[in-house]
Structure 1
Amino acid sequence: MMLLVAAGAALGCSKEAPPAAPQLPERSCFGVFTRDDLAPLVGKGREVKEVSPVDLRLTADRNGGTCNVYVDGKDRVLAWATRQPLGQHLFTNVDDQHPDPLPYAEHGKVWDSGALVTLTCTGAEDSFELELWLSGTVQSADRPGASRPVLTALMQKYLAAAKQQTQCGGTH
């Protein structure tokens, strides 16, 4: 009898607005972002799932990494990085998204649902091209462009961590 009452109470609550998504780990997406960093993109929901490697230590053998954050089975945040041999620029044209330049990245752009940075990493032992992507939108946004400041701040943090984790020396 108690189980039925608890189940009934739980069913009664299911008609209410979904609670905030508290299950997101304290650090996620390669260990780069905090729960608070991603909160505007994650929004509310019942179940949060993150699929990501623990770090972004890309090498010639491990040339990419992807982080997905799902809320109730829906994509909310996508971050990925690709490392290519020197000279193989990967820059994708995103001009149809009406992007703005990122103030801290020579080859960086941000638009309403994403951000992209490409850079050339040069070092004493290894040089390579690195491409970083972020995708997501502010879940409570009721105006166009609301996600751009969030994505700009997240990309700056992502770029700094990626440079450190990939041992990206001087950049172009």
Structure 2
Amino acid sequence: MRARRTFLALAALPFAMAVVAGCTEGTNAAAPKLPERTCFGVFSRSDLDPLMGNGEEVKEVGPIDMRLTAERRGATCNVDVDGKGRFLASATRQPLEQSFFWNPEMIRPAPDELALGDRGLVYDTGARVVLTCKGTKDVFQLELSLSGSIEHMKKGESRPLFTKLMTKFLDVAKEQTQCGS
């Protein structure tokens, strides 16, 4: 009799495990653990937490810094959670005679002006800033761009967050790109 109960218990084990697995399958994993500093060393874990959502694996791809020159004109950092893009930061340098083109009319809902650099915009999913820099050897333009996944944020919270992130990004970018604007 005891052997039969043990057999039944062991036979029921895979079924019970499948039920438990099925129950947890629909729930989200905990928030992913971000590195203490990310994207060119600019952002802290708490800066980017609101954009990360739930997941298990965080992957950051990008160079360690954004020290741009006439030869190295761009640097981009991507942060993915479980293979889904959650945050992107990029810096692009170009000669002064070229210009960056934005069409704010294409952004919906309409962006707000951002009082940073020569020209700036903040919108629901990101921010952009352009500034003129006086380097040690030449004058150049620098465009900074941020975008992120806001699906885990409450409505109305993203623009203040992107404004805060861009302010921090701009300060570090000026230093790393040797922009003496």
Instruction: Please confirm whether the aligned pair reaches a TM-score higher than 0.5, indicating the same fold.
Output: yes
Q: Given that residues 93 and 143 in structure 2 are in contact (C-alpha distance below 8 angstroms), is that contact kept between their aligned partners in structure 1?
A: yes
Matches within 5 A, 1:115-126: 115-126=127-138
Q: TM-score, normalised by structure 2?
A: 0.82
Aligned partner (choices 110, 120, 128) of residue 108 of structure 1? 120
Q: Given that residues 146 and 162 in structure 2 are in contact (C-alpha distance below 8 angstroms), is that contact kept between their aligned partners in structure 1?
A: yes
Give the aligned partner of residue 156 of structure 1.
167
Question: Considering only CA atoms, is the larger Rg found in Structure 1 or Structure 2?
Answer: 2
Give the aligned partner of residue 63 of structure 2.
53
Provide the alpha-carbon RMSD of the alignment.
Answer: 2.2
Q: TM-score, normalised by structure 1?
A: 0.86
Give the aligned partner of residue 3 of structure 2.
none
Read off the aligned partner of 2:95 and give its amino acid letter.
P
Q: Provide runs of 4+ in structure 1 moved above 6 Å.
A: none
SS at match of 2:168: helix
| Matched positions, count | 164
| Between structures 1 and 2, the one with greater helix share | 2
Shift of 1:13: 4.5
Aligned partner (choices 41, 44, 50) of residue 40 of structure 1? 50
2:42 counterpart of 1:21: no
Q: Given that residues 42 and 139 in structure 1 are in contact (C-alpha distance below 8 angstroms), is that contact kept between their aligned partners in structure 2?
A: no
Q: Which runs of 5+ in 2 are unaligned?
A: 1-12
Aligned partner (choices 106, 111, 130) of residue 142 of structure 2? 130
Shift of 1:137: 3.5
Q: Which runs of 5+ in 1 are unaligned?
A: none
Give the aligned partner of residue 9 of structure 2.
none
Q: Percent identity?
A: 55
Aligned partner (choices 89, 103, 120) of residue 99 of structure 2? 89
Read off the aligned partner of 2:54 and give its amino acid letter.
K
